[in-house]
């Protein structure tokens, strides 16, 4: 009897995690894309394989606007133009994208992981293609070149 209970619990747990994975994948496929201009920082992680630590051009502008490490939490409004690129300049048809600054960093993913040995492929990346997920979260979908071609 006890073994059946453990088995049922394991099956329910696997079903819950599987459902969460399916929901997240569906959200990513359906989410609109936003492009952020990037500046690559560090192309290597010793324990977790290759990755690129990303810095975004809006972060440089934000520092000039008073967003510095150690400051209080606050929000920064970016504007997404018709080409999908997020920036600080507002245009008539731009959509607003609000990013939260937690006193250290913005709530944007800063690490892009890729297969070991593929660093050369991503050296010329110009944009990070992000997906806007429900709840305001962002996820990196790909890195792209200047013409928005995925690398």
User: How is the chain split into domains, by residue range?
Assistant: 1-30, 32-144
28-74 confidence digits (pLDDT tens): 778 888 888 887 665 555 555 677 888 888 888 888 888 877 777 88
CA–CA distances in Å: residue 69 to residues 5, 49, 78, 102, 137: 50, 28, 19, 9, 21
* Residue 73 tokens, joined: 């939490």
88-98 confidence digits (pLDDT tens): 877 777 788 88
101-147 confidence digits (pLDDT tens): 887 888 888 888 888 777 778 878 889 999 888 887 888 888 898 88
* Cβ atoms < 10 Å from Cβ of 150: 11
Q: What SS3 class is residue 128?
A: strand
C-alpha 149, offset from chain centre: 17
């Amino acid at each position: 009897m006890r073994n059946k209970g453990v088995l049922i619990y394991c099956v329910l747990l696997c079903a819950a995690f599987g459902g969460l994975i399916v929901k997240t994948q569906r959200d990513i496929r359906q989410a609109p894309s936003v492009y952020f201009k990037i500046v690559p920082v560090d192309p290597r992680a010793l324990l977790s394989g290759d990755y690129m630590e990303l810095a975004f051009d809006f972060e440089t502008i934000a520092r000039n606007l008073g967003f510095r490490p150690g400051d209080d939490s606050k929000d920064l409004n970016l504007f997404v133009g018709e080409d999908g690129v997020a920036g600080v300049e507002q245009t008539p048809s731009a959509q607003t994208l609000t990013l939260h600054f937690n006193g250290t960093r913005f709530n944007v993913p800063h690490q892009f992981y890729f297969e070991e040995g593929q660093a050369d492929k991503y050296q010329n990346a110009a944009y990070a293609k992000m997906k806007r997920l429900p709840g305001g979260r962002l996820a990196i979908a790909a890195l792209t070149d200047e013409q928005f071609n995925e690398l």
